[in-house]
């Protein structure tokens, strides 16, 4: 019998990455009565690592409750959350174009971290992993930033950019996990699945 998991994420990139490693999955998405964005609110003085791990576990708890309410067949549930950190400053999803421009202006010419936490609920067990990558942007002028923001690509993206978009032309170097920067670190995800008894 083919094994499969639930993916509690609306990100098409996470779906693509699971397809890349041959993991069959079904979506387990929040209903209209759930305020998924509220889970991503940053607490005062919260460090980026603590934030991304807390949000991922909160999403996992919500997904487990959703599965139970819906009476769906049991299967492991995978959740992930990605944040961008400039020092201790957490750069989440921009609220509008102005905030996207401000975030990208802050990142231009500097190194930042991309943290992606991943969690897998396998029955009563919860397995966790964390990927931390460093990305350095070249200096970028305001006109180029505005043109990128005008494409709409930054909206819904932590740090107001996607590594697989046109913003890749600003990346001088990466140290870490490319898939983690995309939103699902495949090394850590595969390790969690193997720990849960999967053969990949």
List, for the chain, all residue ranges whose pLDDT scores fall below the cut of 50: 1
pTM: 0.93
pLDDT tens string 140-176: 999 999 999 999 999 999 999 999 999 999 999 999 9
Whether 81 is catalytic: yes
Q: Is the CB of residue 4 less than 8 Å from the CB of residue 25? A: yes
| φ/ψ (deg, to 5) at 77 | -120, 130
| Domains annotated on the chain, with CATH | 5-195 (3.90.950.10)
Count Cβ atoms below 10 Å from residue 85 Cβ, excluding itself: 20
> Which of the following is catalytic: 19, 35, 61, 81?
81
């Amino acid at each position: 019998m083919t094994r499969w998991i639930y993916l509690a994420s609306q990100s098409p990139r996470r779906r693509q990455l699971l397809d890349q490693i041959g993991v069959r999955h079904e979506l387990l998405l929040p209903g209209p009565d759930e305020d998924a964005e509220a889970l991503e609110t940053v607490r005062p003085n919260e460090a980026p690592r603590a934030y991304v791990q807390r949000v991922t576990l909160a999403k996992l708890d919500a997904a487990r409750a959703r599965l139970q309410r819906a009476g769906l067949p049991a299967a492991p549930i995978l959740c992930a959350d990605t944040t961008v950190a400039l020092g201790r400053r957490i750069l989440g999803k921009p609220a509008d174009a102005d905030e996207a421009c401000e975030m990208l202006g802050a990142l231009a010419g500097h190194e930042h971290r991309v943290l992606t936490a991943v969690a897998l609920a396998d029955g009563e067990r919860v397995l966790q992993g964390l990927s931390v990558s460093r990305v350095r942007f070249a200096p970028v002028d305001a006109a180029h930033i505005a043109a990128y923001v005008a494409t709409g690509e930054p909206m819904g993206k932590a740090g107001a950019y996607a590594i697989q978009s046109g913003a890749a032309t600003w990346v001088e170097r990466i140290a870490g996990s490319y898939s983690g920067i995309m939103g699902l670190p495949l090394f850590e995800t595969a390790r969690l699945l193997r720990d849960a008894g999967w053969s990949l």
